[in-house]
Amino acid sequence: MVLKLTDIPFFPSYIDGQSDHQFMAGAWAQGPFARDKLGVISAFSAEHMAIFTDERWTRQIELEGMRASGVTRGAMFDFVSNSLLFSNGQAHRNRRGPLARSFARPVLAALREDVARRTDRMAFGLKGAGRVDFLRDFAGPLPAQVIASVLGIPENDADSFAGHVYSAIRGLSVVSAEIRAESDADLDAINRYVDDLLAVRRPDEAGDFLSQYLAKTEDGPMSAEEIRCQIVGLVLAGSDTTRGALASTLSQLLQHRDQWEAFCADPDGLIDGVVNEGLRFDPVIGSLPRVTLETREVDGVKFPRQTFVAVSMLTSLRDPQVYADPDRFDVFRSDHPRLHPVFGSGPHRCLGEILARIELEEALKALARHLPHLAMDGPPPVMRGYGAVRSISDLFVSA
């Protein structure tokens, strides 16, 4: 018998004190899908992640997320309308192409040196600093400074730019009218900043990142607003994600002292395992949203066209069909898929994976080199959220 969407069980009630992982595992234990009160269907397994992100029958959400939050205008609404992440088909290809080609390996390879120098200085600077607010003093500034450097923003402006970025990002979630107004104002400031940066560049295939990007958009189909939005998108997509992943990975390492000590003894040898496991164990992306384009049966359930599906990263990255003992944090595991699923798949696969990896690798190696005695100085941070970019609470360490 083929089931209808209304036959899918609702999510179980949240039990006080449950982690996001425990809550989602409880929903998965009921069956392959769960639905919420708005009718969004969640899927849990790694296999379903592949099925529901297959562009042949599903598409990326566009403005549905904004509209569901009651947002129909403003800076964030305009940004989402013009961004590559929330577009499909030809519009997506138009927007992704020039950015992907400008953000290619040679540009990124040159960045590794810059990031290594920066993280070395930052980690060394923490030596003997006592109690450190790791998000404020390390994990937050790093991605914002690195993207500022990619865009050629002067070092002196990087901190105020970072302030705008972390405030603006809040507008991608469901927030109060007050926070939305602040977020829109900060996004306006970023827009003006990026407009000014673009205004003084000339298209130049051999120039810096922005000049190359302009050369690749010349005579193309994008409007001036779209050209700017893809750069702003890079800034927004690359900040909170890397910040959360770095803090979460470090906290897991410090909570598994034997693995931290093994890493400090051989940072170069263990770095790949550390980064892959940090990204898997408590992923910074909660789920990937998709809308079905045709009616199809999956696992005995009929999914009509236009069904809104969220495939959980939390559960699919702990799928026992893929990972042995999936609830164990283990930097030595050898069962990570070749392409890490946390960066998505298909046409929207993350454009910043290499940059994110460079930042995570260089930061964690520098911390291990300079601060082998680093320890938690407070409760472990908690990652929260089931969709989009998850938030992380404070991480204090003693350096």
Shortest reach from residue 66's CB to ligand HEM, in Å = 15
Q: Which stretch binds ligand HEM (CB under 6 A): 14-22, 191-199, 257-265, 348-356?
A: 348-356
SS3 annotation, the chain: CCECHHHCCECCCCCCCCCHHHHHHHHHHHCCEEECCCCCEEECCHHHHHHHCCCCCEEECCCHHHHHCCCCCCHHHHHHHHCCCCCCHHHHHHHHHHHHHHCCHHHHHHHHHHHHHHHHHHHHHHCCCCEEEHHHHHHCHHHHHHHHHHHCCCHHHHHHHHHHHHHHHHHHCCCCHHHHHHHHHHHHHHHHHHHHHHHCCCCCCCCCHHHHHHHHHCCCCCCHHHHHHHHHHHHHHCCHHHHHHHHHHHHHHHHCHHHHHHHHHCHHHHHHHHHHHHHHHCCCECEEEEEECCCEEECCEEECCCCEEEEEHHHHCCCCCCCCCCCCCCCCCCCCCCCCHHHCCHHHCCCCHHHHHHHHHHHHHHHHHHCCCCEECCCCCCEECCCCECEECCCEEEC
The CB-of-153 to ligand HEM minimum distance in angstroms stands at: 14
Least gap, CB of 348 to ligand HEM (angstroms): 3
CA–CA dist 210, 15 (Å, integer): 49
Q: Which stretch binds ligand HEM (CB under 6 A): 153-161, 199-207, 213-221, 336-344?
A: 336-344
Q: State the number of binding residues for ligand HEM (CB under 6 A).
A: 24
Select from 12-20, 24-32, 284-292, 391-399 the region that touches ligand HEM (CB under 6 A).
Answer: 284-292
Q: Which is nearer to ligand HEM, 245 or 250 (CB)?
A: 245
Cβ proximity to ligand HEM: between 165 and 399 the closer is 165
* Residue 351 binds ligand HEM (CB under 6 A): yes
Residue nearest to ligand HEM (CB): 352
Of the pair 243, 399, the CB lying nearest ligand HEM is at: 243
193 or 399: whose CB is closer to ligand HEM? 193
Q: Which of 65, 171, 352, 387 binds ligand HEM (CB under 6 A)?
A: 352
By CB under 6 A, is residue 147 in contact with ligand HEM? yes
**In the complex, what is the shortest distance from the CB of residue 98 to ligand HEM, in angstroms, rounded to a whole number?**
12
Residues from 217 through 246 that contact ligand HEM (CB under 6 A): 233-234, 237-238, 241-242, 245
Using CB under 6 A as the binding rule, whether residue 344 contacts ligand HEM is answered as: yes
Nearer to ligand HEM, 146 or 399 (CB): 146
Q: To the nearest whole angstrom, how small is the minimum distance from the Cβ of residue 61 to ligand HEM?
A: 8
Q: Could you tell me the smallest distance in angstroms from the CB atom of residue 353 to ligand HEM?
A: 7
CB of 104 to ligand HEM, least distance (A): 13
In sequence order, the β-bridge partners of residue 296 are 303
From the list 349, 346, 398, the residue with the least C-alpha distance to 375 is: 398
Tell me which residues in 53-112 interact with ligand HEM (CB under 6 A). Answer: 60, 84-85, 96
The residues of the shown chain that bind ligand HEM, judged by CB under 6 A, are: 60, 84-85, 96, 147, 233-234, 237-238, 241-242, 245, 284-285, 288, 342-344, 348, 350-352, 355-356
